[in-house]
Copies of this chain bind each other. A is one copy, B any other.
Amino acid sequence: MISIAILGAGNVASHLYKAFSKSDTVDVKQWYNRSYDAIKSFKNETEVIDDLAKLKEVDVYILAVSDDALEEFSKTLPFNNRFIVHTSGTVSMYALDKKNKRGVFYPLQSFSKDANVNFENVPFCIETEEKSKMQMLKDLANALGSKYYKITTEQRKTLHVAAVFINNFTNQMYRIAHEISDAENIEFDLLKPLILETANKVQDMSPYMAQTGPAKRNDKKTLKKHLKRIENEEHKEIYKLITKSIQKTHGIKYRFDIKRKKH
């Protein structure tokens, strides 16, 4: 049995609390938050506290507090040499005060308070200062039914960039498609199955192998027709640049002629 304390009561802390409470291999000994109100309704399930001095000794302290607060908050912990982890994708492990043994237990998923979370689909990036602590984080991930990946602080930074492409930039592709279809009174609903299909396809196939379409086929006639049809200058520019990128990826010699306005 691994004993843990959860610190913080935001999106991540709340979901972790709920999931760990159900586990047979993890005991949530205490739940701390600076404002008691957020956690008091759980007082019959676990020990809820708003005073750091009351923290008992446990195997892992999970600091699920805001990124900006992590560094200072870790200094205020009234103990040494215990194992503390944060749950942030962007904060370095070394931002935590070195008086304790440090680690990262970062769930790569966006959480909101209402939506239910199925942790089986949430991969954890784990990192520890001391190698011997790694198994503890693996066990925590297993207790949630989650996959885990050993990821260094440096790798985590790169991962964040990759996630921007996959989440924010992909979402902007959806948005542009929405604008283009709206302008012609085409219901966006019509495109939703294609969004899912595209995402599903790369679950068992590399994006390289999954690519299709006029850029990949180097279908110049269609590329030209599409550009003519796109009215928004910025969308045109994106069309050209991503087409060029696809063609480069697939070793196509012909590069879509890009006339760029100078800024």
Contact = CB atoms under 8 A, between A and B. Distances in A.
Contacts of A199: 170, 195-196, 198-200
A156 to B, nearest CB: 9
A168 B216 contact: yes
A167 B212 contact: yes
Interface stretch (A1-9, A45-53, A55-63, A157-165): A157-165
Interface string A195-212: 111111111001110111
Contact of A168 (B180, B183, B215): B215
Interface string A146-177: 01010100110111111111111111111111
B181 A158 contact: yes
A237 interface: yes
6 contacts: A121-B196, A122-B193, A158-B181, A175-B211, A234-B248, A262-B262
A135 interface: no
Contact of A213 (B147, B168, B180): B168
A16 B227 CA distance: 32
Interface stretch (A20-28, A33-41, A76-84, A184-192): A184-192
Contacts of A110: 197, 212
Interface string A223-242: 00110011000100111011
Contacts of A187: 149
A173 B181 contact: no
Contact of A194 (B163, B193, B230, B263): B163
Q: Which of A158, A161, A202 has the most CB of B within 10 A?
A: A161
Contacts of A108: 190-191, 193-194
Contacts of A190: 108, 123, 125, 149, 151, 159
Nearest to A216: B168
A241 to B, nearest CB: 6
A200 B196 contact: yes
B245 A164 contact: no
Given A155-B184, A176-B165, A241-B241, A202 B260 contact: no
